[in-house]
Amino acid sequence: MARLLDCRGIASRYFDWAAREVSAMKRKPRLATVLFRPKQNPASLQYRDLILKGAARLGVHVDGHEAEDEESLLALVRKLNRSRAVSGIMLFYPLCSALRDEDVMDQVSPLKDVEGLHSINLGYLIKHKRFLDEARGIKCVVPATAKAVVKALLAYPEIPIDGSFVVVINNSMRVGKPLGLMLENLGATVLKCYHKTPRKLLEDCVRQADILVTAVPDPTFKLDPEWVKPGAAVVDVSYQGNVDMAAVAGRAAFVTASDNRIGAMTRAMTFVNLVYCAKNAPLRRSARVPVLV
């Protein structure tokens, strides 16, 4: 039988780390959340509430903001970028707006970007740059969900990333693209597929995967458990479940549980990133990092 990846347990360790860091800071981090047309985004409201719960656990103050149109959204982001009180900014995607999500991501200051989605932060990931200022221990931020998957895998030494063949079924800016880069930086060979990949080709790829990560946000998308390579590690990031884990458990070595997937880890990584953003205040004052706005 496959072992379960204990995402909640791993997340708890990172929440504890963040709590110790926050408690040691003279100036506590302050997170600003931004919801766009919240009445039209019940999933974003639910996720915002989970972030508030995590913040309360850490003693982090959260300023909640909402915007009802694109002009006020951009004006709000600019205001939060300028605010000296705000350490980190979190928008809830997808915005379902006339604006492209990727364009709005670049409006957030890269030094307050707790989601790690600004082009500058993604560029650091491409170059495998880990520190903005290594001497002072000021780290770069990377996308929280992708980081959550990597940290979950690294928690188990029995899952070798270096030298593994990894298949990621997602090509989004928030998950698939950065996750592929992170795993490549750790020595894996990564192949990215997505929901439009021809079914036969997808099957051929999945059957070879030592590590399989799937994150297709479509409730009708399902993978055949028989495709999973015996002994593989399977991480299901999707909300509704892309894989029947009970059926996979007899083939895979490690799996995520349907009630203990990567969400808690993603929230933990968001607060880890907030700690990093709070520590880069000296760079904000000296304008050491350019802003593409």
Locate the domains of the chain by residue range.
26-133+265-286, 145-261
CATH assignment of 26-133+265-286, given 3.40.50.10860, 3.30.830.10, 1.10.3720.10, 3.90.76.10? 3.40.50.10860
246 Cβ contact list (under 8 Å, min separation 6): none
The pTM (predicted TM-score) of the whole model is: 0.93
Residue range 93-103: average pLDDT? 94
- Cis-peptide, bond into residue 94, ω within 30° of zero: yes
pLDDT, tens digit (0-9, with 9 covering 90-100), for 55-96: 999 999 999 999 999 999 999 999 999 999 999 999 999 999
pLDDT given at position 286: 63
Domain pair 26-133+265-286 / 145-261, same fold: yes
Confidence of residue 116 (pLDDT cuts 50, 70, 90): very high
Query: Considering only CA atoms, which of 154, 46, 116 is closest in space to residue 270?
Result: 116
E-strand ranges in 102-232 read 131-133, 138-139, 165-169, 189-193, 211-214
Is residue 258's pLDDT more than 90? no
- Answer yes or no: are the C-beta atoms of 116 and 129 closer than 8 Å: no
pLDDT given at position 283: 81
pLDDT, tens digit (0-9, with 9 covering 90-100), for 168-183: 999 999 999 999 999 9
What number does CATH give the domain 145-261? 3.40.50.720
pLDDT given at position 290: 52
pLDDT, tens digit (0-9, with 9 covering 90-100), for 224-251: 999 999 999 999 999 889 999 889 989 9
CB atoms within 10 A of CB 263: 17
Query: Considering only CA atoms, which of 125, 273, 257 is closest in space to residue 186?
Result: 125
